[in-house]
Chains A and B, each alone.
Chain A
Amino acid sequence: MQLFLLTAHEIHELLIKKEISAEELNKAIYARIEAVDDRIQAYITRTAGKALDQARAVDKQISNGEKVTPLAGIPIAIKDNICTDGIKTTAGSKILSNYTPPYSATVVKKLEAAGATIAGKVNLDEFAMGSSNENSAFFATRNPWDTSRVPGGSSGGSAAAVAAGAAVCSLGSDTGGSIRQPASFCGVVGMKPTYGAVSRYGLIAYASSLDQIGPFARDVTDCALMLNAICGHDPLDSTSAKQRAMDYTSFLKDDVRGLKLGVPEEYMVEGIDPDVRDLVIKAMEKLESLGAVVEYTTLPHTDYALPTYYLIAQAEASSNLARYDGVRYGVRTEGTGDVMDMFMKTRSEGFGAEVKRRILLGTYALAAANYDHYYLKALKVRTLIKEDFVQAFKRYDLLLSPVSPTTAFPIGEKMDDPLQMYLSDICTISVNLAGMPGLSIPCGFVGGLPVGLQLIGRPFDEGTLLRTAYTFEQNTDYHKQYPDL
């Protein structure tokens, strides 16, 4: 039995039947990390020692006959922009390459409270800015299905670790598609919950009004278990919603009869690779054959989503990243003169090109002379984009689309053309602008590379997303295929 290929719910059964121990499991995952991570390069920091301690505690609970949660003992990888008390947290940036937070993010505390073990911290595009992981200051994570290709981004390490069996589940963050696109590229389930469903406290901010933490898993059931652990109101996050606690596994039903699914035609035309589009159409037909009603619909302001997204995200980023100045934490580069000189040297040395580009763009968009024309305009168009979804959800329970216009692209292909890189986010960014939940589920392969189907739901209706994804999964076997490593 290859433990590293199992899902959390499968492992849980074995644990409570005492067929394996949490310690064995964690050791198996570590052996897997040792075996594959030199090729995948998902991990920035491995925390084997701590994870084994946590695992032994779980084993003790089990042998004492205590009830443990479904995530107890399960090794989970954490994107390295989510703070972990006493464990280095770099955000993939040189400027934080030596930073160890004195506190843990709320999600990390919740996972630890559920008994999960922290396998380590995984790679990302610097400050979550990117779609390929190539913007990491340390190294580029590889796609487990083809190591010459990118795993997607910015949560590329989180997706690759789960796909490679180097973690059972993982956490990522999604500002414009940063969970869904790498999930699609790596053939795993990835979900961005509704804005406000998961606390952002302890997530190193990129664009605060768009950022949301979410899970990666090998199947929809694990995804629901992760949501059970991480969702919920947090008094430390003013934008966290006051929702009732719910059991997301209660939505896992193999039944989509009567559901009305809309397919925004704007996501199916221009720029979408025909093979990807064909797989999405096949998925539509599959769901239709299972009893759902599937129709084409429209989100008329889709063309404006990209500029709107980039203006808002960059404006917020330019402010969020101001604190990295070499005074309180992080890497300082001394100048020859005064504090201003030190600020300039520190930031110029500490940030990579993409981060600088976004800070410059955001600063420009917010400058007094440009504010109305760029930033305020974008906030207004955001209203129109959100309204598109409100209208669509009057008629449909869910929207379906591709996650990304293409499969994973070769490393280096888009690095010289930032605009082309931005355009690959076209199917995912509107969901963040509107604050809706979105999920990527494997729906087939093109040339041996996985393709994800995107499901978009009403705010706080993660349930219908999970139900539809679960039904699709029960009636396909894409999630049972593993990369050959």
Chain B
Amino acid sequence: MPRYETVIGLEVHVELKTRTKIFCDSTTEFGGEPNTHVCPICLGLPGTLPVINKKVVEYAIRAALALNCNIAEFTKFDRKNYFYPDMPKNYQISQHDLPIATHGYLEIDTQKGPKKIGISRLHMEEDSGKLVHQGTITTTPFSLVDYNRAGVPLIEIVSAPDLSSPEEACQYVEKLRTIILYTGVSDCKMEEGSLRCDANISVRPVGTGRLGTNTEIKNLNSLKALRRSLHFETERQIEVLRAGGRIVQETRTWDEGKGETLPLRSKEQAHDYRCLPEPDLVPLLIDRQWVEDIRGSLPELPEQRRQRYIKDYSLPEYDAAILTNTKELADYFERCVRAYSHPKAVGNWILGEFNRLLNLHGIEIAACKVTPQNLVSLLRLIDQGTISGKIAKVVFAEMFTSGQAAEAIVKKKGLVQISDRHAMVPVVEKVLAGNPGAVADYKAGKGRALGFLVGQVMKATQGQANPELVNKLLKERL
């Protein structure tokens, strides 16, 4: 039986974070009472006309440059005609044959090392409204339409069929998301639908050159859905082929509940988009100076940043990758390092306690009360021996909730580390006297007993004792 390999291409839709919609001046704000973020243009009222938002073009170029694309000199809009009740004009203004950007790529990490994934094109288009179903789409007698989202700007990023597993597909989406977040043109929230994904997938016997017939899976609203649906579809296609069947080229949707992909009805498949140049919009000639200005304003991108952290800060590859995963985290890290030149120590704290508490409380960095200056002060207190690493965690937790400076907390709670030999000796002696068993164990060669004794001293001092000093004092007396 032949072994099969999977070929996947992704179409990722990203909502741009402009203030207004792509062709009218209605707000793009998420949420809002139904049908309040609308105007005659985005409602598709008879007689209305689109005018392109300059910021949308700028953001599209910005994203495209970050994805190593070529920016077209001449680009235009087209109408893609099909009927759907969430589309106010029953055509979507999109870009057909002359997209704003082509020929890009990004790199993902695979077990075999880095892999370049081609980006065949990136284009601008308008989003549709939203359908609200009472119950499920199949059982509800009515659907309700909210056009607040209609006309929100999207970029569609189409990958080459370079992805060979569901895992690679997920990695690609995560990487794409990271890069777009860095450019600041979208907040890429899959759960709010500001990043959405359709997948084209086919299988072929290993070693065959030609692509197999593909299916398209729509409405993949999470990485989990992407991974699961691609696994399901791979298996389904292989099963069909192994049973001697043929793959039907069709659009399928992912049913999260059933855990399977299902074909759309055939009459909905009868699509012929009849694209035509949008007569209501004039072409765009993209000025090269504009492109260079946008290029110049791009921040350092995650890949470059990661390399720099490894090279300049001698960070392990893993730490560098995680620190650069979001721009906010990397910016935070760098602000700390600028004030305190021990990148490894800063990194450990950020990847440790800092991230743990952020995740625990579900807080974004922007909303975190610990400023880089305060974190650095905390690290300095450890360096100076004012507090122990253990106490530092307690102090940090307090900083995290109250936003107070480390020094203030240490002072208020009397957490200053006890490094005074004279103050410590009586405590140590009391512990030794109170734990004769452990002392005997240690003397019998059980090294672990020392740890227990240190712990008892720390407990007796509420963690304020300087651990090095405690060790030293215990050893002197044992």
Contacts and interface: CB of A to CB of B under 8 A. Distances in A.
A19 to B, nearest CB: 39
Interface stretch (B279-287, B324-332, B384-392, B446-454): B279-287
A367 B274 contact: yes
Interface in A204-225: 204-205, 207-209
A480 interface: no
A96 interface: yes
Interface stretch (B83-91, B160-168, B177-185): B83-91
A367 B274 CA distance: 5
A101 B47 CA distance: 10
A207 B48 CA distance: 13
B47 A204 contact: yes
A236 interface: yes
Contacts of B52: 238
Given A208-B280, A238-B280, A343-B83, A322 B91 contact: yes
Identify the interface centre among B45, B50, B83, B276: most chain A CB within 10 Å of its CB: B276
Interface string B122-160: 000000000000000000000101010000000000000
A147 interface: no
A322 B98 CA distance: 24
B324 to A, nearest CB: 41
Contacts of B91: 319, 322
A208 B85 contact: no
B46 to A, nearest CB: 4
A322 B51 contact: no
A158 interface: no
B43 A328 contact: yes
A340 B267 contact: yes
B396 to A, nearest CB: 54
B263 to A, nearest CB: 17
A368 B50 contact: no
A368 B272 contact: yes
Contact of B51 (A81, A235, A328): A235
B450 to A, nearest CB: 76
Nearest to B43: A328
Interface stretch (A178-186, A195-203, A298-306, A455-463): A195-203
Contact of B40 (A96, A102, A205): A102
A421 to B, nearest CB: 24
B280 A101 contact: no
A375 to B, nearest CB: 7
B49 A323 contact: no
A91 B79 contact: no
A318 B274 CA distance: 10
A238 B267 contact: no
Contacts of A441: none
A455 to B, nearest CB: 26
Interface string A319-347: 10011010111000000000110010000
Given A322-B89, A323-B88, A343-B83, A201 B272 contact: no
Given A239-B280, A319-B276, A201 B45 contact: no
13 contacts: A83-B47, A237-B49, A237-B51, A239-B49, A319-B91, A319-B274, A319-B276, A322-B81, A322-B89, A328-B45, A329-B46, A366-B274, A366-B275
The 10 closest A-B CB pairs, nearest first, are A322-B90, A366-B274, A208-B279, A209-B279, A204-B46, A202-B47, A83-B47, A323-B89, A204-B47, A323-B44
Interface of A: 81-83, 89, 91, 96, 99, 101-103, 105, 200-205, 207-209, 235-239, 315-316, 318-319, 322-323, 325, 327-329, 339-340, 343, 363, 366-368, 371, 375
Interface of B: 40, 43-52, 79, 81, 83, 85, 88-91, 143, 145, 147, 267-268, 272, 274-276, 279-282
Given A83-B47, A99-B46, 9 more contacts: A83-B46, A89-B46, A101-B47, A201-B47, A237-B49, A239-B279, A239-B282, A328-B88, A340-B268
